[in-house]
Structure 1
Amino acid sequence: MAPPFMCSLLFPLFLAVLSIASGYTPISDDTLKSLPVANDDFNIETGSLLSPLLITRVPGTGGQVEAQNHIASFFQENLPEWSVSWHNTTDTTPLTEDEEIPFQNIIVRRDPPWAAEGDVGRLTLVAHYDSKVEPEGFIGAIDSAAPCAMLMHVARSLEEGLKHMWAEMEENGEAGDPFTEVKGVQILFLDGEEAWETWTRTDSLYGARSLAEYWDTTPHAAMSAYRNPLNSISLFVLLDLLGTANPRIPSYFQNTHWAYKKYASMESRLRNLHLLTSKPASGTFLPDKDKKASDFSRGFVEDDHVPFMRRGVPVLHLIPTPFPSVWHTLEDDGEHLDIDTVKDWAQITLGFAAEWMDLEGHMPTTKGRRADRVQVERGADEPKTKTEL
């Protein structure tokens, strides 16, 4: 990701996003308490989600292939009803000159089983899985191995709720109802985010630029609800540089500030329920919940969202400002992750996604599971208070 840049926002898009926000229904505390927790999956040495990604993942190398295999195999073996597809492209870079480097985006989707491709509006959760060429040996734990692992946890945790909800809709005759919004979940593991030499519009965002252009020029079938795959993105949520303690995530865009507030509210509720374990110095990861319209500027951080945003896609960018001190250094490795913060980002994102997908009453519950876990971690005699929003 690059330093702050300038962009204009689209007023028609703002109105469209407002219509999405108006139908948003909060999820209950009981459901939040029942959400699965990743725990050992984020162990940096043995965690099934995170540890295989704590390697160098430069495009065109064996490490990139290992990362791809880890992500694709996770879905194929654990979530077979999620579709896995690839968007492949090649490009030259300043370091490789005329040599074409492969960039391969991994696209994972879970749509209602009865829905046609062009009729599904998708919550789109995004992270890049490549790592930087230099310095040699750069791992990129926050940038962005940990966010990728978080999204894998979110997908696995949503599956039973989605399956139950859609089965109930089919049983009740609601499937295919023209007056019911058709919603799905899409996860993009993007390749080639990092610059090979110096961040420019052509030396960065290789996978994102190619995918956004391809989706923008690939029409859905006639009479579809959405004209193309780009248009079917209800909200583009990009996670980047997440995993160190005390992150501060600003609200960058006025047109998606409503979504930022939903994320901030989810964090606050989870902290009030003692379901998060990190203790940020400011009490919160997301401090801009009450930001006024007059306080927004036209500046933002360049990242994988830019090619999509320039084509009218609504974006929620979850990236800290200032950047963590380990950014683009060899210290951005597993040892410098704050695992409590990693787990908490996974839970906040899971809660946001479950609420977006209207999974209240559909998530599996194990009575006392979350309460027992928190009680054990805190100790029975500890005062049950935390710093709140």
Structure 2
Amino acid sequence: MPRLHCVCVLLAVIILQASAQVKFADGNLKQARENHRPKEISLAAIEKLSSLSKTSNLNDVLKRLLVERVVGTAGHEEVRNFIVEYLRKLAWQVELDEFEDETPIFGKLKFSNIVATLNPNAERFLVLACHYDSKYFKNQVFIGATDSAVPCAMMLDLASSMQSLLNAKKSDNSLSLQLVFFDGEEAFQQWGPKDSIYGARHLAERWEAEDKLKRIDMLVLLDLLGTPDPNFYSYFQNTESWYAQLLSVEERLDRAGHMDRYTYSSVAPNQRTVRYFQPRSYYAYIEDDHIPFLRRNVPILHLIPTPFPDVWHKLSDDGTAVDISTVQNLIKVFRVFIAEYLHLDM
């Protein structure tokens, strides 16, 4: 008995020490996230990032995504495979988070979240996310260009156009970039807790069980993008400083003359007709893929226009609804934002 008692005490000490180390590590990650600040780049670097749009293959990528992508259809499988192969060719580590879930109308379906990681060994990640499925309409073909083929194309364009800059970041094990393409965001019958955001619910639960959520600095969710003149607002107080950073990036790009077909002038604000990132907060409870992560205390930056585009959940949400100049402008903003968040060497 005394030997068993000693073993138990020793085991208890080991467990307490391990627990303390985990808490210390968790605290370090939280502190690193909260203390992280952007590293502002020069005007020359802004020009360099803007010029990447000249060699962009955005239109070609978008054509591959502007198809019906209802879960379980051939188009959905083709788009999933295209995204996976595209990112693997860019040397990202790509994982498919596959699972089955019960749905109305179609019964049990197989879903696949796509998780692409620049450096899997990094301690922390800036996560960009969108969904790649399209909504089901009985006896109708819904493309879902803004919802969300365009955000998918934007994320792929960011990975390809910034490839050399991001590759140079791969050796940094402190902070890296992760791209998540959620499956099953759309409801099949009627939006509700069991008929919506299938992929986000599954991945958030899985990463919580695997103790990975603490490694997310911030989840930046893109949705309903592509129509002209979107209005964005800051929806969450704990990421307001990062929303303000987007606003700052937009203004600097504008002053440097890098916004195409863009008439807002920070020099003469009374003459402006367009500004994407509005300088104010806005309370709006929008149910989207971020909700399961928000409920688990992951910092969220939700980039979705208010009001929603006029084509939302209409058959007119196809390629004709997309304004490429607006999309390219937003990509430029995100390039600079990523460069400054990750402290890329420009």
Fold shared, TM-score > 0.5 on shorter chain: yes
Counterpart of 1:372 in structure 2 is none
1:189 pairs with 2:189: no
The structure 2 residue matched to 1:209, chosen from 201, 204, 207, is 201
Give the TM-score normalised by the residue count of structure 1: 0.75
Counterpart of 1:51 in structure 2 is 63
Counterpart of 1:138 in structure 2 is 142
Q: Which has the larger radius of gyration?
A: 2
| Contact in 2 for aligned 1:130/1:192 (Cα 8 Å) | yes
Q: Which has the higher helix share?
A: 2
Counterpart of 1:85 in structure 2 is 95
Aligned length: 308
- For residues 296-335 of structure 1, the C-alpha deviation after alignment (integer angstroms, 9 at most, x for no partner) is 54x3211000001100100000001111000000100011
Counterpart of 1:42 in structure 2 is 58
**Aligned residues: percent identity?**
39
Q: CA deviation at 1:40?
A: 5.5
Distance 1:40 1:217 in 2: 39
1:256 pairs with 2:268: no
Counterpart of 1:385 in structure 2 is none
Give 1:1-389 correspondences, 5 Å limit. 16=30, 20=34, 22-35=36-49, 36-37=52-53, 41-43=57-59, 47=60, 49-77=61-89, 79-80=90-91, 82-96=92-106, 99-111=107-119, 116=121, 120-134=123-137, 136-165=140-169, 182-218=174-210, 228-279=211-262, 282-288=273-279, 291=280, 297=283, 299-359=284-344, 362-363=345-346
Distance 2:77 2:46 in 1: 36
Q: CA deviation at 1:19?
A: 5.5
| Contact in 2 for aligned 1:123/1:183 (Cα 8 Å) | yes
| Contact in 2 for aligned 1:109/1:187 (Cα 8 Å) | yes
| Contact in 1 for aligned 2:118/2:170 (Cα 8 Å) | no
Cα root mean square deviation, aligned: 2.2
Greater relative contact order structure (CA < 8 Å, 6+ sep): 1
The amino acid that maps onto 2:336 is: G
- For residues 72-106 of structure 1, the C-alpha deviation after alignment (integer angstroms, 9 at most, x for no partner) is 111122x12x101010111111222xx21111000
| SS state at 1:300 partner | coil
Structure 1 unaligned regions, length at least 5: 1-12, 168-174, 177-181, 219-227, 364-389
| Contact in 2 for aligned 1:39/1:343 (Cα 8 Å) | no
Q: CA deviation at 1:122?
A: 0.3
Distance 2:117 2:259 in 1: 28
Q: CA deviation at 1:198?
A: 1.0
Distance 1:318 1:18 in 2: 24
